[in-house]
Structure 1
Amino acid sequence: MADAISGLGGGGAATPWAVNAATSATYATSAIVCLFGGPLATRVGIRRLLILGAATFPINGSSYYVNLKYHLQWYLVFGRSIGGIGTGLWYIAESTMVLTYPEDHRRGSMLAFWVMSRNLGQIVGGVISLAKNYHNTHGKTIATDTFLIFVAIEACGLPISLLISPSDKVRRQDGTSIRMSPPLPWREEFKIVWQTVIQPRSLWLSPYFFYSFFYGEVLGTYLTLNFDVRARALSSLIVPISIIVFVYSFGLLLDYKAWSQRKRAVLAYIIVTVPTLASFIWLMVNQVNHNKHGHKKLDWTSPGWPNAYLPFLIMQISGYQCQTFIYWLISCHSDDINTNARAAGVFRAIEASGQAISYGLNSCVKSNIPPLAINWGLFALTVPGCIMVIAKTPRERVHDQIVHDDADVDKKVQAEH
């Protein structure tokens, strides 16, 4: 539902600026929480993190509803900040599960299934939004009672999360259990987290982590400034359906065993990169023309709708493929739950920091040209690090041991302890 609300562009508001500021606060708190992913996963447990995260979900939808209906922007910022803490806990849990639980031959498809599951929520939200706003061709904001339905669905997260099994009881299809390292004292855990942050692989991928969802609010602002409410409601349905189709196909490629793991990494990176570059150029041209000539917000019946909307859609698909690829690339180097919790925590912390800065930037800048240019520059900075890590990706995943830098860190700390 959170992604469904984001898919409305500016949270369904007439302008995106206040929502951007509130969302920046959300990701700022999420980044802080995610940085301690390893210690939290070890001490609290994946299941409890899911429960605590789900408990904050309804606050997210209610903050949008209150802002649109009563214009209480302080509650929007407050609610989104509290939601950011829960989102951080949820990020740690879901990231660790999706990196660790699947068998080797199903990592790509399970990552794709996870992304598909997230976008099923967007499809439900898109259907609701389109049904409530189908005739809303002249309104400036999404119908406020749309968010009451979203809140009701978000409230289901807590009771459902209580049904999740603890990690130590999970068994894969082949009967194997989940690898778990013994808990360490807090001081040692923080030391390992720091070592995870500064290890070469993390440093090389940091620009890619930071960029991975930086584009999100640029697209949200683009959608809000260029399309009317009805077209935005339709977009909230088109985007998740397209993501499900393309990301699932992408996941099958990541699991294609006829090719080595490294070859799959190279091909996957090309598939993500080429459409991203093309859509960035297309979006920039469209936004320059819009600023120069100006036009009314486009409906889906408007002549210029396909040209304006297609690069937005391509960028959304490429963005989720980018996320899937990053998780898969991280999972190539370890199959231990504690190690993956630290790696996932670092990834989500850097990613959330990028989103916080992106939304903060877009809440202050009233033109979409500078943020688009910044996104272009950020993407260019990611290329050298990605090439370095992909070149060192193992040809096949190593089992029964924690490989590379994480293993060395764990062994050293445990020996000292």
Structure 2
Amino acid sequence: MFNALNAMGGAGQIDRTTSNNANTGVYCTFIIFGVLGGAIVNLLGIRWTIFVSGLTYALYSSSYISYNHTSSGTFTIATGPILGIGAGILWSAQGMVMMSYPVESQKGKYISIFWVIFNLGGVIGGIVPFVVNYSQGKGNKATQLPDSCYTAFVCLQALGSMSALCLAPPQRVIRDDGSHVVLMRYTNVRYEMMEILKLFVNPWILLLIPISLASNFFYTYQYGPYNGALFTLRTRGLNSMLYWAAQMAAAYAISFLHDRESLSRKHRGLLSLGLMAILCNAMWALTMVMQLRYTRGAIDENSSNDYPGGLIDLTEPSRAVGPILLYIYMGAVDAHVQSFAYWLIGTMTNDSQMLARYAGFYKGIQSLGATIAWQLDAQNVSLMGQVIVNWVLLVFALPFTYYLTSRIKDHADESIEQPADDWLMRADGSKSDYI
């Protein structure tokens, strides 16, 4: 739902300033709590952490109802950092489940299952504004989402949060081959903090930083300066729906390569990385061609962009088909990038506690990139400048990711090195055992 809202450009508002500043707040705290999220999940478990974290998304969406009536962005911007805290913890829990539950031969499949479910929310979220605003007509004005749309988002997000309470504890989950998902150690705050600090000196994790930084950077441009600037509101809703549907299809398709047992894992990884490099470079080349045709979007409800012919509406096939197809292509490429990154992290270990920390670190660095990107748009950096920065970041990330991929092992360790005995002492002085 959150992605669908932001994919509308400005979270459904014409003026993207409030949304940009709120998202900057989101990703500022997301950086910190993404990195800390794995430790928090290891200490508190997945059910209540996901439940409480999910409610922060509903709070953020509800703030736009207030914005519609007051035109004051104070509440919305204030909810941003709160959401960032929740998001960092939620994504750490999600990453642990997604990467540690499957056997090694099914990690690509499980990532794709998650990505389909995840983006189903985006599809539903795109349908809501499309249906509500379809009767608006083409016009030449871009309007904001009504209260009813935001209310639908809040209800769906609250329902999703409550569903987390139905999750089985990881200790009770058994894989298809009969093995237990969780080789759980007794843990405490001191031990978790030490393990988090070790991530910053782990060379394999440090090699992930460039691709992590680039992998969420492009959302700001795609949501705002592209979808938010070029299309009428109802067309933006349609685009959002198709964008996330393309992600579902692409994630499912790439899972077959990631799980192809006739090839070594390193060979699979290199093929996937090569395909990703081709698709990403083609995407940014096509985007640059589009960007050469305009320099700005609508700046208020009475203005339009400077794209030839003004805002693009879905009833104009000759103008709409190409730009809409490019936005769909952007969604498919994003799914490949994210699926590959998670699959790559999943090849490093099968240890659930370590994967929670790895997932949190990945999302934390992602959020650092997103924070920078949202502020570039908030500070009115030229749209062409944003395209160039995105493309350069991708190219910069490729050699580091190649080096890491070329050293994938066919089998990851089931558990990480056992900590020193003093980290495993319970409060009563006895040593803990593996569950």
Please state whether the residue corresponding to 1:198 is helix, strand or coil.
coil
2:68 matched to which residue of 1? 68
Query: What is the RMSD computed on CA atoms of the aligned residues?
Result: 2.0
Distance between the aligned counterparts of 1:288 and 1:345, measured in 2?
37
Alignment of 1:133-172 (within 5 A): 133-136=133-136, 137-138=138-139, 139-172=142-175
Once residues 306 and 414 of structure 1 are traced to their aligned partners in structure 2, the CA distance between those partners, rounded to angstroms, is 63
Partner residue, 2:349:
334
Deviation at 1:411, TM superposition (A): 4.1
Please point out which of 186, 189, 194 is paired with 1:191.
Answer: 194
One-letter code of the match for 1:301? T
Structure 1 residue 362 corresponds to structure 2 residue 377: yes
Equivalent residues in 2 for 1:195-234, closer than 5 Å: 195-221=198-224, 222-234=226-238
CA distance in 1, matches of 2:219, 2:259: 27
Q: How many residues align?
A: 410
Q: Is the 8 A contact 1:56 1:83 kept in 2?
A: yes
- Kept after mapping to 2: 8 A contact 1:33/1:349: yes
Kindly provide the CA deviation profile for residues 19-38 of structure 1, in whole angstroms up to 9, marking residues without a partner as x: 11111111111111111133
For residue 77 of structure 2, what is the aligned residue in structure 1? Answer: 77
Is 2:304 the counterpart of 1:300?
no
Normalising by structure 2, we get a TM-score of 0.89
* Alpha-carbon distance change, 365 to 273 in structure 1, aligned in 2, over 3 angstroms: same
Judging changes above 3 Å, is the alpha-carbon distance between structure 1 residues 413 and 342 closer, same or farther for their aligned structure 2 residues?
farther
Contact 2:58 2:155 in 1 (8 A): yes
User: What do residues 276-312 of structure 1 show as CA deviations (whole Å, max 9, x unaligned)?
Assistant: 1111111112112223974301112332222323333
Residue 251 of structure 1, CA deviation: 1.1
Q: Secondary structure at the match of 1:117?
A: helix
Rounded to whole Å, the distance in 2 between the matches of 1:334 and 1:413 is 22
- Segment drifting more, 302-311 vs 358-367: 302-311
Shift in Å, 1:170: 1.4
Tell whether the 8 Å contact from 1:59 to 1:80 is kept in structure 2 after alignment.
no
Provide the C-alpha distance between the structure 2 equivalents of 1:197 and 1:304, rounded to a whole number of angstroms.
Answer: 48
Whether the 8 Å contact between 1:214 and 1:375 is mirrored in structure 2 is yes
Greater fraction helix: 1
Residues 312 and 320, structure 2, Cα contact 8 Å, conserved in 1: yes
Match of 2:326 in 1: 311
Q: Secondary structure at the match of 2:186?
A: coil
In the other structure, the counterpart of 2:388 is 373
| Alignment-derived partner of residue 103 in structure 1 | 103
Q: What is the match of residue 245 of structure 2?
A: 241
Query: Does the Cα contact within 8 Å between 2:116 and 2:252 map onto a contact in 1?
Result: yes
Q: SS in structure 2 opposite 1:173?
A: coil
Distance 1:132 1:415, change over 3 A: closer
What secondary structure does 2:183 align onto?
Answer: coil
Counterpart-to-counterpart distance in 2, 1:116 and 1:336: 24
8 Å Cα contact 1:42-1:183 kept in structure 2: no
TM-score normalised by length of structure 1: 0.93
Residue 258 of structure 2 is aligned to residue 251 of structure 1: no
Shift of 1:399: 4.8
| Compared CA separation, residues 318 and 99, structure 1 to 2 (3 A) | same
Residue number in structure 2 paired with 1:54: 54
Q: Deviations over 1:88-137 (max 9, x none)?
A: 11111101111111122211011001010011111211222211011223
User: Residues 416 and 51 (structure 1 numbering): CA distance in 2 closer, same or farther, change over 3 Å?
Assistant: closer
Question: What's the counterpart of residue 271 of structure 2?
Answer: 267
Counterpart in 1 of 2:283?
279
CA distance in 2, matches of 1:415, 1:42: 14
Contact map agreement 1:7 1:236 (CA 8 A) in 2: yes
